[in-house]
Amino acid sequence: MTFELKKLPYDPTTLNPVVSPKTFEFHHGKHLQAYVNNLNNLKTGTKFENMDLISIIKESEGPIFNNAAQIFNHEFYFDQFAPSPKSKPEGALATAIDAAFGSFDNFKKEFSAAAVSVFGSGWAWLVVNAAGTLEITKESNAGTPLTKNQKPLLTFDVWEHAYYIDFQNRRPDHVAALWDVIDWKVIESRF
The residue extents of the domains of the chain are 20-78, 91-190
The CATH T-level fold of domain 91-190 is: minor pseudopilin epsh fold (3.55.40)
Residue 84: its pLDDT value, please? 83
Contact (CB, 8 A) for 115 and 175: yes
pLDDT value at residue 1: 85
79: left (phi over 0), alpha (psi -120 to 50) or beta: alpha
Q: What is the pLDDT of residue 87?
A: 80
Mean predicted lDDT score pLDDT of the chain: 96
What DSSP element (H or E) covers 106? helix 104-117
Cis upstream peptide for 89 (omega within 30°): no
153 SS3 class: strand
Topology adopted by domain 20-78: Helix Hairpins (1.10.287)
DSSP codes of every residue in 58-77:
HH--HHHHHHHHHHHHHHHH
Q: What is the pLDDT of residue 99?
A: 98
Q: SS3 for 110? A: helix
pLDDT in tens, the chain (191 residues): 899 999 999 999 999 999 999 999 999 999 999 999 999 999 999 999 999 999 999 999 999 999 999 999 999 999 999 998 878 999 999 999 999 999 999 999 999 999 999 999 999 999 999 999 999 999 999 999 999 999 999 999 999 999 999 999 999 999 999 999 999 999 999 99
- Of 163, 183, 160, 181, nearest to 173 (Cα)? 163
User: Model's pTM, two decimal places?
Assistant: 0.95
- The contacts of residue 120 (CB under 8 Å, 6+ apart) are 140, 141
Instruction: Give the span between the Cα atoms of 9 and 70, in whole angstroms.
Output: 18
Amino acid (one-letter) located at 60: S
